[in-house]
Amino acid sequence: MKIAINTLEEITIAELDGDIDASTAPKISKEVLPLATEGKKILVDMTKVPYMSSAGLRMLLLLNRQITLKKTELVLVGMNEEIIKTMKVTGLLNCFPIEKNLEEGKKVLNR
């Protein structure tokens, strides 16, 4: 798993590259959860994430708790259909704004 974190126009972008599973979810949590601070805008780019296990779902649940507590804005972008289906079945799909690409995600955060 590769994680690149950049800032563009007051938006922190966390680009994930690789599978999200039991071995990589802790690394993502360690690097992405601290980004959720009050008033922050975060975009998580999952364009290069081909697979996400239940450990990834758990990581997203922790992320949802953190952004709710810290009043952080967060958008997920670029998720493939399989991940979207899994999130829909588990009810997590309704917890996050989800957009197709970076540009759409930026529009949501810049409203």
What is the number of domains present in the chain? 1
Domain residues for the domain of 93 are 2-109
What are the pLDDT digits (tens) for 1-13?
999 999 988 999 9
The pLDDT tens digits for 30-76 are 999 999 999 899 999 999 999 999 999 999 999 999 999 999 999 99
Give the model's pLDDT for residue 79: 96
> Is 90 exceeded by the pLDDT of residue 27?
yes
Against a cut of 0.85, is the pTM above it? yes
Token pair for 41: 């805008």
Inter-residue contact 78 to 16 (CB < 8 Å): no
Residue 111, pLDDT > 90, answer no
Rounded mean pLDDT, 5-26: 95
The enclosing domain of 51 has a CATH number of: 3.30.750.24
Average pLDDT over residues 6-33: 95
Q: What is the mean pLDDT of residues 84-106?
A: 93
